[in-house]
Amino acid sequence: MTYSGYPSPDSLAAGTWLRVTKTADADNLGLRRRVRSLSLGSLSSRTDSCEVNPLDNKIVVITGASDGIGAEAARKLVAIGATVVVVGRSARKTLRVANELHCASYVADFSELDDVRRLALELRRDLPRIDVLANNAGGVFAQRALTVDGHEKTMQVNHLAPFLLTNLLLDVLIENRASVINTSSVAHRLFAKFDINDLDVANNYSQLKAYGNSKLENILFTKELHRRYEGQGISTAAFHPGNVATNLGHDTDSLVRYVYRTPLRKLVLISSAKGADTLVWLASTASGSAWQSGEYYYKRKIHRASNQANDATLAKELWEKSSTLCAL
């Protein structure tokens, strides 16, 4: 489920999904047990006794963390004291990041909602709590395809799966007054042609339209999550990471692929490390002081979203339709 920088050569379109293997599970077992047994005094590396590290005792779960901005965010957050849990699609890539950072990892396929349900059960079982959930997984696909659940792949991977994961962890997030961070994109303004009655983009499909719609859905989800649960302690924000030089355009057949796969990427794209900056900032600072819950950010500042992204009625309707699609 390595959707940050997704698709990779072992892409969704090729259908070559990597699963959790017994070997990978065994390699992770000790790390998972360590996370499960963490106490308030030992959740992360300590800072100088005279300093207060805002990430001490914090558990941060990042999806799409096997490469791209998810992996870079994991590195930066571990470096400043967080206990990070990485989630990815590729067992090999995810375990490689986990071994590098000495952190626990999980593998799941966001094109299968049952895999998302399994992931939620495992996180609930293994983690003493969750302080930050970073819904960072995402992809763009050349051809319209339906998942095993019967939904358009871009919509399910980018919106429906993180919506379901967040809802399945909702009581844990509320209990710990957690932050939920959703990776969106300026593509919601550039490419979205959103029809609430055509979430599966059955009419006039294009890869950029599907991607733009899904990034709009990320913001609408953020807005409605804030409206429903800010009073119960959840803080949430969406952000645009910038035009990041990842594998995102690998499976497209448009100008996006040309930019991502040629020397032009060095001229118009930023590094994954720079793209991860706002995610790290949101995860490592407090809502209400550093940032405002329910907003859309770019470069650590509130950024203008589209009119549809600020439509409260549309956000509510999307939540209700998504709940029905996920059988919540």
* Active-site amino acid positions: 211
Phi first, then psi: give them for residue 63, nearest 5 degrees: -90, 160
- For residue 298, the 8-state DSSP code is E
Q: What is the DSSP track for 220-261?
A: HHHHHHHHHHGGGT-EEEEEE--SB-SSTTTT--SHHHHHHH
CB 66 within 8 A of CB 97: yes
Q: How many CB atoms lie within 10 A of CB 25?
A: 14
Instruction: Name the residue type at position 95.
Output: L
Using the structure block, give the residue that is written with the tokens 């909602």: 113
State yes or no: cis peptide before 7, omega within 30 of 0.
yes
Q: What is the DSSP track for 21-50?
A: -HHHHHHHHHHHHHHHT--TTSSS----TT
CB 124 within 8 A of CB 55: no
CA–CA distance, 309 with 130 (Å, rounded to integer): 27
Using the structure block, give the residue that is written with the tokens 């549309």: 314
CB 188 within 8 A of CB 216: yes
**301 membership: H or E segment, kind and range:** strand 301-302
